Homo-oligomer: A and B are copies of this chain.
Amino acid sequence: MTDRLLSPDEMEAALRQIGATRYHHLHPFHEMLHTGQCSRDQVRAWALNRYCYQRIIPLKDAALLARMDDTVLRRVWRQRIHDHDGEIGDAPEGGLRRWLALTDGLGLDRDYVTSMEGALPAVRFACEAYVNYVKERSLLEAIASSLTEMFSPMIISIRVRGMLANYDFITEDILRYFGHRLSEAPRDADFALDYVKRHATTVETQRAALKALEFKCSMLWAQLDALQHVYVNGAAAPGAWAPGVAIVEQAA
């Protein structure tokens, strides 16, 4: 981690270096997911658990918005809440609703998914830690923690292409969440990156911003670790979703 003041370009490079070494595109569960090595139940477990993460995105953005004392900044940031929550009447639907199109498409009971009853505790704890991080840290750290968006387009393209090619139960329609993120994420990441480069202007704040991105990578990583431990390696998980539970009959 840096012990001298970085130029804005060096700061960006240091942030990108964290992505290159700690973002969850390096996690073995992702490799399994897009190369077709997951069973349908493993894909279900992933979608069910990741609902916990999707759920907190508008919550953490609202918490962030509540700490911004600058109208100009709030006008920009509120778009993220629109993107995830959609508009009244689901027209258009938002990211959270699109995620439920995936869990619906995988045959998971929607009430069960949104209850998070069957989600892994470690996944819920990681998501809760993210919301608290955004509430408790500096605005700069909270914004810097969103910078995993810089890396998500890369993983989304590989994932969508791989899942469509490798699973007959996956369709473009149920993966529609990701298509929207491909345009939303770079716009959001560009804004946040610019903000961080302009506001992290001391050794201390640069270090804090880099740590914030490391934290965010760790909460994404922890979610996949928990999935892999239980649904790939077969560890016992008292109370967690098991194959066959909360499956809705449907036309494939």
Interfacial residues, chain A to chain B (CB-CB below 8 A): 21-22, 26, 28, 121-122, 124-126, 128-129, 132, 214-215, 217-219, 221-222, 225-226, 228-230, 233, 235-239
Closest beta carbon of chain B to A50's beta carbon, Å: 16
Given the contacts A235-B228, A238-B217, A126 and B122 also touching, CB distance less than 8 Å: yes
Most B C-beta atoms less than 10 A away, residue of A125, A132, A226, A233: A125
Q: Which of B128, B132, B215, B233 contacts A229 (CB 8 A)?
A: B233
The 4 closest A-B pairs by CB, nearest first: A121-B218, A125-B125, A125-B129, A122-B222
20 A-B pairs in the complex with CB atoms less than 8 angstroms apart: A21-B238, A22-B238, A22-B239, A121-B126, A121-B215, A121-B219, A121-B222, A122-B122, A122-B125, A122-B226, A125-B126, A125-B128, A125-B219, A128-B129, A128-B132, A218-B238, A222-B226, A225-B226, A225-B237, A229-B233
Contacts of A221 in B (CB 8 A): 121, 238
CA distance A122 to B223 in the complex (A): 9
Complex: how many Å from CA A215 to CA B233?
Answer: 23
User: Nearest Cβ in chain B — how far from A137, in angstroms?
Assistant: 13
How far does the alpha carbon of A132 sit from the alpha carbon of B219 in the complex, in Å?
17
Given A121-B126, A125-B122, A129-B128: A225 and B214 interface contact (C-beta under 8 Å): no
Known contacts A125-B129, A128-B128, A225-B226; 17 additional CB pairs below 8 A are A22-B239, A26-B236, A121-B218, A121-B221, A122-B122, A122-B125, A122-B222, A122-B225, A124-B129, A125-B126, A214-B239, A218-B239, A225-B230, A229-B229, A229-B233, A229-B235, A233-B233
